[in-house]
Chain A
């Protein structure tokens, strides 16, 4: 038993230590942000391209099919109560408030988050970060901050695109294939969706963008500099981001209800 308590104590201590280091790391990124935004916007724009533009295909394809499934399920269930005209409202609320931000964040973690982690991890493993340090260039500022900011900016844009494409997918299925009235589809949506719903989605997309990007650069920066270490960091990025996104989604939803 003493060994068990000792293990729990040491694990707790390690967790607290890591969490503290994580918060300090976040503050370091925030501290360097204004300078990078003003002096090196080109680096940030390049990373918005890398994390955002290069994720567009997967986001659009997934958005289309998620919207299509929502349209199909919405029609199938609402038609039992002769409420199939409300399918537009259901799809819009689901995408705006929940599925848009959450699924985009999960896809972002899988596509851009892993790319960020592995890129930074490999830079560490091949001494590129040490070389920058030796050239008196702060790698946190030069490498991590642009990647972090690129993800933070890209995420809300990707969520917006995912939601729009999702609505388009739902429209194709519900209106074009299943025969829901096009006027009712859009009118119900307009009546049901309020500015608060949009705000909730936007807030979630920002929070998820910060969390997903922060975890990706943190894991990459703290990689054990070996091939196995980079692989582990990449996996951890996806797993931890997914868990954090779902927990935060619940918390934000609970607060905003």
Chain B
């Protein structure tokens, strides 16, 4: 019964979404306020209906209702409760439902937001969001229905794919989807502005929090996915330039460019057309990612059994929304009132530099990801484009941008002073050089470029905060003045600094990968293996039984030099339902570094193959990403704070006017 309710609610939601996508536009065309306002109610209703549907699926999973095909294929009665829950989105159908749920959630949030949006913009945005919802609801209902019954019902399910039975993966998809799908709102805003034919600072101000929100979650989602791949797949790598990873990186890059260009638009009323295009492209890349992952057109280490019919359906969605919006853009953009131009050396000029480089970097990833597909269609040759390609293209494009990032941050709006900005960053730059030199000296004979990478990271972190520090300290005297100045800085200034420092931390972590080492050995209990700074001693190999798996657990003592760290365990598991083996890496965190052990084949005589990695400073990669999203979140509170009471805070705002935000 519950399953039928869920199914019915989903079908009903499709009907409501159709209303949401048509009626508001009709209302706007007829200048009928009542009709134009229907979108809000429809969006909220649609969200409630999809929530009912999602809850029904969750209940089916929790009760292990094996009369539902989707539950049979992806769950097992012996699974721990948490994995029964995460099984809901650990498969294609369920994750589509989560996708639609988040899509309607964003629609409902726009409908509920108290922000004073012009009626026409709100109506248009909700209508466009409604269209996207219609497409994906139809896709879910027609090709990927999670509520399909199975008669007769089997007694037991087939278990969730074991490598997905993991906490990291439990939270990775929801985070990632909030990011991916969040950009649908920016897209809806952009298309609505094109339909309306008007775009101004009000638009930019309305869009910014949504972009920032989506970006924060996408950043966290990608970082989580990367960390999951690192510890779960047992290869010790954190990024593989795999099509599926690129599929999430491209919208992230475009979104990063977008949050920067909307600042220019909001502050200086410029870059309008470009910002609109970027908003369209960002969500288009999200859709492209969905297509790549779910159609199986590109071979990826992450790909799974897929269905060509679904691929075709998503391709149609992709063509309609990307093609439609770009056509609308080509038609309407020339009619938009052009924004002002500005001096190349200025904050806005620096943000343009940011956009040019990030968009270019995004394009290189795009080409590398899709080139194999095009080549196969044209010549029939099958190729793979791997890390060497991206190292040769993406990195050279991004590094110059990182080098000038602190300069851009300390340039003033309108007319900047390059010399002054350079002077302000002199100390940070010097610090970076010093650290790079020290690193070269300490690791003489090692990798050449990595110390420069470390120096760059230090420069970025120092530059991010020295700039703020200079603004706080040098113009004030005494601690109380410093404090009040620190408080007076807008939160988004702190957010910017934090996010940029996060980039620096990640850069340090990535550069330090050059010093990671790998050792392979065949160990019997009592024997040792050394790699880099770490030595492990195999203590014992013991069998263990989990709820839905059996495991061989190897226990290791870990030493860093002569210092003994806490022991660690690595395991080979066999999940009984699918008879599928997985490797559970053993990881011992030592400061920011990690010792990482993966088990290989048992050798028969009580020995086991063991791979040990020394991963120096590796945690900084993900800490940097978390710091970036914290920065984004901090900026978000700034926007809310100001937009919550736009009129009353006006005097306070002018008191805290800063040259930069």
Q: Say whether A and B bind each other.
A: no
Where the two chains meet, the residues of A that have a C-beta atom closer than 8 Å to any C-beta of B are: none
